[in-house]
Structure 1
Amino acid sequence: MSKFDLVVIGAGPGGYVAAIRAAQLGKSVAIIEKERQLGGTCLRVGCIPSKALLESSHLFEHAGHGFASRGIKVSGLEIDLGAMMDQKQGVVDTLAGGIDGLMKKNKIERFFGHATLANPTTVQITSEDNTEEVTGDTILLATGSTPASLPGIDFDGQFVGSSTDAIAYEEVPEHLVVIGGGVIGLELGTVWRRLGSQVTVLEYLDRILPGMDNELAKDALRIFKKQGLKFHLGARVTGVTNDGTKATVTVDGQDSITCDKVLMAVGRRPNTENLGLEAAKVEVDKRGFVVVDNHYKTSAGNIYAIGDLIGGAMLAHKAEEEGLACVEQLYSGYGHVNYNAIPGVVYTDPEIASVGKTEEELKEAGIAYNKGTFPFIANGRAKASGTVDGKVKLLAHKETDRILGAHIIGPHAGELIAECVVAIEFGASAEDIARSSHAHPTLSEVIKEAALAVDGRTIHM
């Protein structure tokens, strides 16, 4: 039986990053993953493949509808869906191979198979070929999450599928129904709408993008409708049936909808199946998330947990930060995550990005604030590139002027939000951003103008 300082269960963004950092700190590390490829859901069937398809579908749509206005004529445009899927898989394979190389470089021992806690220090690893055990002074759980469904509706792989199915359709569905108006549903709905599907989004709430700033969510809804996505808000889905060729989605109080595919995108649940939490006396809450303290320690003293497994924002980069903080706290004495500075991004067109507090949260907390907004349509770079939808919105404390929240809908919002993340992390004020020189012409000037708008002194509006 092999013994290690740290045994990491799960090789997704949180797990493999934690393993690397522990190895850098001189610890003997093992990582256990039941999939042949490292990288977890994010790399294999989530963030990375969906972004590859978003980029490919964007190029296809732009070639068909955007090139002509720039004097570029295209004829005979068609989709080779197989080649598009091959390109997506090539990206995944390359990145997964890179992580495998990082494990070898950092002398992290890799084990393939399903991991089960036999007790607080021993992990049993089961594969098709054999069963073995490893022990660790410390065990880190980083098994992530799996797609959730609605009561009475099961994933069948043919008509009703998860995001894993929706990134691998063999043909473009004539009509795709997306259940859930959150990030995953809108991103993948956008992919197939661009490629020719009629897409209908059913959302239980009276708004899309729950948890994000409501003003931006309203802007996004207007833009997505203009692009061709159809929305039914306040829609409570009660069931899905099929006749062997089509699926029928029933909605309480509304007409049923017949379609070719159903994408279930109503959230994710912690992946604790057969993990052995009871045997190791690891406590979970009523929703199934592992309970941890401020240093990610579970009720079993030497077992820690991070990422989707412990709830909060289910984001790859949040899991990475937790993995680093957990390991550094264990082996160097200090680790910390500023949860108010974790950005969220929706990779639609336009992109939507957010960090810090929303207006709704500030109002509910009774915090006085000033708001500054600036539209991309008044920005030179945005006009030149033809990407003028959206705006930047900054929220600053009324007394101290410190940035409390930043919300962007517009071109490259996912990249632009980084400036705001750094501002919040370092306690910067709107005045700090307003006084910082931003290159011209760039999209980032919209952030500067929004910062100026907090004090009512924009230049270009």
Structure 2
Amino acid sequence: MAVYNYDVVVLGSGPAGEGAAMNAVKAGRKVAVVDSRREVGGNSTHLGTVPSKALRHSVRQIMQFNTNPMFRQIGEPRWFSFPDVLKSAERVISKQVSSRTGYYARNRIDVFHGTASFADEHTVEVVCPTGAVEKLVAKDIVVATGSRPYRPDGVDFNHPRVYDSDTILTLSHTPRRLIIYGAGVIGCEYASIFSGLGVLVDLIDNRDQLLSFLDAEISDALSYHLRNTNVLIRHNEEYERIEGVDNGVVLHLKSGKKIKADALLWCNGRTGNTDKLALENVGLKANGRGQLEVDEHYRTSVKNIYAAGDVIGWPSLASAAFDQGRSASGSIVQNDSWRFVNDVPTGIYTIPEISSIGKNERELTQDKIPYEVGKAFFKGMARAQISSEPVGMLKILFHRETLEVLGVHCFGYQASEIVHIGQAIMNQKGEANTLKYFVNTTFNYPTMAEAYRVAAFDGLNRLF
């Protein structure tokens, strides 16, 4: 058994692992990364963020071609299969792997491929694909092993028509009708993708509103546009059992309903990848969803073991995971790079997309904060008209008296880009974080960012 010594060992090469490794090595530490795959990038690159967003982009292009009258000069609307659009995602994944492999090589970070487990609080054993075992000894260890789809015991995922958000990427045909069980972020994103390909989608939600953490107006807009693309949303439903048949799947709901489709996509929760880590050898225990508890410095109850990313739960976003990993190693190397990551914008890549930061109307009302609303509808924006993207709006919530920006909510074209302007202003001090900034700043015209100026004037006009 080969033994290697390091300052920091990072388990996982997704966004959290990469953030942790890069920050530690830049601080002069000797770093190793362990990943269970033969290629770096983690679930974010291979199964989650990158492939699903690449799929979405391709589907948006198809929808634009099929609905924009200008393209009729080229040809009639076309139908594309799911495997066709998956090829574009595979190309992006390959490029991402190549880039990230280069990062580790340039920074002289050793990468081990295999299954990692704790031998003790300073030692990790890695079982390589060849069966060989390598021992890594480190002063500090960062767990960034990510998560996987939650699979309840009562669902037969071995059935060829039953998928989760990982295995859906192996789908070799395009179903005519698809059941998506679970209407969280992943479920709504895949509902958009498949309905954009002409698939009839039944979206099963166990709550009475889609993505209830969003501003209610934004949630309602998403529901409307999903229904407009033939997504049938069934609220307040729970599954009783899933019956796999020869030519499809029958979903039996507790309400007595039976729904049949060509395939079922299970999108109901995720589980942290901690079951193979032998946590008992270091005195750690994961919760029921496989997640580790950490303090604000991303340290577990074992003083030299840290954790970041999906494996610690909220917010389970690639963007936050990178910063959490960087902050975890910042706590180790003490180079002033630590921060508690809580300024996290929501980015939901449905069609149209959604993004928000700060408080929503429901929260402000509950807190009895006197707020007002400013809106800019994209159908009136020159850039949106030029881009043939009239759907959506920007909504600014601000304090009636101080004009402080309290929340920004965006639905539509480039929402996940637009929100960062609001985020930057909300992080300023004094008058710089008020509605006056948008009124007194010249924006390029025509741009989507100009929506901030329009919304600010709309909001000011509501004051008396």
Establish whether TM, by shorter chain, passes 0.5: yes
Distance 1:336 1:457, change over 3 A: farther
Cα distance in structure 1, aligned partners of 2:397 and 2:235: 28
Could you tell me how far 1:283 is from its partner in structure 2? 4.3
Kept in 2, the 8 Å contact 1:85–1:168? The answer is no
CA RMSD of aligned residues (A): 1.9
Structure 1 position 383 matched with structure 2 position 393 = no
What secondary structure sits across from 2:166 in the alignment?
A: helix
- Percent of counterpart pairs with the same letter? 28
What is the aligned counterpart of 1:298 among 300, 306, 309? 300
Structure 1 position 85 matched with structure 2 position 86 = yes
Could you tell me how far 1:173 is from its partner in structure 2? 0.5
Structure 1 position 314 matched with structure 2 position 316 = yes
Unaligned runs of at least 5 residues, structure 1? none
Structure 1 position 449 matched with structure 2 position 451 = no
Distance 1:88 1:223, change over 3 A: same
Distance 1:410 1:76, change over 3 A: closer
Letter in 2 for 1:127: C
Letter in 2 for 1:251: L
Kept in 2, the 8 Å contact 1:325–1:334? The answer is no
| 1:353-432 to 2 correspondences below 5 Å | 353-427=355-429, 428-432=433-437
Could you tell me how far 1:90 is from its partner in structure 2? 1.6
| 1:160-309 to 2 correspondences below 5 Å | 160-285=162-287, 287-309=289-311
Q: Would you identify which runs of 4 or more consecutive aligned residues in structure 1 move more than 6 Å?
A: none
Letter in 2 for 1:400: T
Distance 1:400 1:284, change over 3 A: farther
Aligned twin of 1:117: 118
Structure 1 position 342 matched with structure 2 position 344 = yes
Letter in 2 for 1:438: F
Could you tell me how far 1:187 is from its partner in structure 2? 1.4
Kept in 1, the 8 Å contact 2:296–2:340? The answer is no
Which deviates the most, 153-162 or 125-134? 153-162
What secondary structure sits across from 1:167 in the alignment?
A: helix
Cα distance in structure 2, aligned partners of 1:135 and 1:70: 60
What is the aligned counterpart of 1:62 among 61, 64, 67? 64
Cα distance in structure 2, aligned partners of 1:182 and 1:69: 35
Cα distance in structure 1, aligned partners of 2:87 and 2:114: 27
Which deviates the most, 212-221 or 4-13? 212-221
Which deviates the most, 48-57 or 297-306? 48-57
- CA offsets 1:200-240 (integer angstroms, 9 cap, x no match): 10100001123222220011101211122111111112111
Cα distance in structure 2, aligned partners of 1:16 and 1:7: 11
Could you tell me how far 1:329 is from its partner in structure 2? 2.8
Distance 1:138 1:338, change over 3 A: closer
Could you tell me how far 1:82 is from its partner in structure 2? 4.2
Which deviates the most, 423-432 or 238-247? 423-432
Give the number of aligned pairs.
457
Cα distance in structure 1, aligned partners of 2:402 and 2:312: 34
Cα distance in structure 2, aligned partners of 1:276 and 1:296: 20
Kept in 2, the 8 Å contact 1:63–1:74? The answer is no
Kept in 2, the 8 Å contact 1:64–1:74? The answer is no
Could you tell me how far 1:118 is from its partner in structure 2? 1.1
Kept in 1, the 8 Å contact 2:19–2:324? The answer is no
Letter in 2 for 1:118: A
Distance 1:386 1:338, change over 3 A: farther
Letter in 2 for 1:419: I
Could you tell me how far 1:287 is from its partner in structure 2? 4.5
What secondary structure sits across from 1:373 in the alignment?
A: strand
Unaligned runs of at least 5 residues, structure 2? none
